[in-house]
Structures are given as C-alpha cells and as structure tokens.
Amino acid sequence: MKNKKALSSVIATVLIILLVVASVTIVWSFVKNFIDNRTKSTQSCFDVESSESVTINSYYTCYNSTTGEVQFSINIKDVEIDGLIVSISAEGNSKSFTLNNTATSFTNLKPYRGNYGDGLKLPGKNEGLTYVASGFGTGSNIDSIKIAPMIDDEQCSSSDETFKIDNCVLLVNN
C-alpha cells in the first residue's frame, strides 16, 4: 500500500506540472499576439516619424488674409499610410480634416485650383498635393498647421508642424 500512495503523489505532481505548462502556453500565445499587434503599428508609426516621410511643404503653404483661406501642401515619400489628419489652428480655434485614400468631399476644403465639394484624397507614394481650407476669417492669424499620419486605423503622433505661415497676398505682390 505504501508504494501505491507514493506513486499516486508522483503522478499528481506530474499532472499539476503539465497543467501549469499548458496554461502558461495558452496565456503566452494570447499575450504574444496582443503584443505583436501593438508593436507592429507602433513600429510603423515610428518608421514614418523618424524618416520624415510625411511633411508639410512650406514653399506652397500660406494664408490669404483677404479671403480667409489657408493653402497648404503635403508631401509623402516612399511610405504607405492609410490616412492623414491635418489640423489648422487660428487664434485659439482649430479645424481638422482627415484625408484618406478614397475620394472624400469637404465643404471647407478643396484641391488647389479646384472647387469646394470636390473629392479629395491623400497624395500617393512619392507625391505631393496642395489643398485650400476656408472659414478662418479675413485678417486672422494662422498659428500652426500640424499633420499626423494614420497607419492601420491608428493615429500616429505629429510627423510635421509649421508655425510660420506667410500671407499669400504679400508673396504674390513681392
């Protein structure tokens, strides 16, 4: 009888160890998938931000104080992004626009030399596009323009920002 009790406790110990190993394996597979998904989008955002792949082209960015329109240009280098959030701040107020790869129309955003309500989309790889936003009031000062890429439906931090927005009217007259 004594030998049978010892054998039962050994089997019970081995079964408990197997149960713990199986539980750890199952939990680890879920945790690993979660971590992999989170780090993938974070790594993609880091790659875009560190390479300065999505930028504001300051040469084509200005504010028309007589019409209250802001002209801004976006350049995208050799990267894939799903969308771009553009935020324009003027005297304590801000307007944001989300551009993506499908043509979307806005009431106060148009392509350069286009019409309000025209379908707008994000520039492609190695492209740049210029847009015009309205509704900022004549004589206002534009404080900043920020852009933040979106990858896998996750908003990355700001990839570029400009605080110096010249008056378009002054640039044309000079």
Helices H / strands E in the chain, number of each: 2, 13
Instruction: Report CA 117 to chain centroid distance, whole Å.
Output: 23
**3-class SS at 140?**
coil
| Domain assignments of the chain as residue spans, ordered by start | 54-173
Whether the predicted pLDDT of 43 surpasses 90: no
Per the CB < 8 A criterion, the answer to whether 37 and 17 are in contact is: no
Number of Cβ within a 10 Å radius of residue 62: 22
Amino acid symbol at 9: S
Read off the pLDDT of residues 49-63 as tens digits, 9 standing for 90 and up.
666 788 889 888 998
Instruction: Using the Cα atoms of residue 41, residue 43, residue 46 and residue 47 in order, give the sign of their dihedral.
Output: negative
Task: Judge whether residue 64 has pLDDT over 70.
Answer: yes
Each residue's pLDDT tens digit, 133-168: 988 776 678 888 999 888 877 888 788 888 888 888
User: What does pLDDT average to over the chain?
Assistant: 82
User: Given this structure, which CATH class describes domain 54-173?
Assistant: mainly beta
Where do the H-state alpha helices sit in 110-166? Answer: none
Predicted confidence (pLDDT) per residue in 77-119, tens digit: 888 888 888 999 888 788 889 888 888 888 889 999 888 888 8
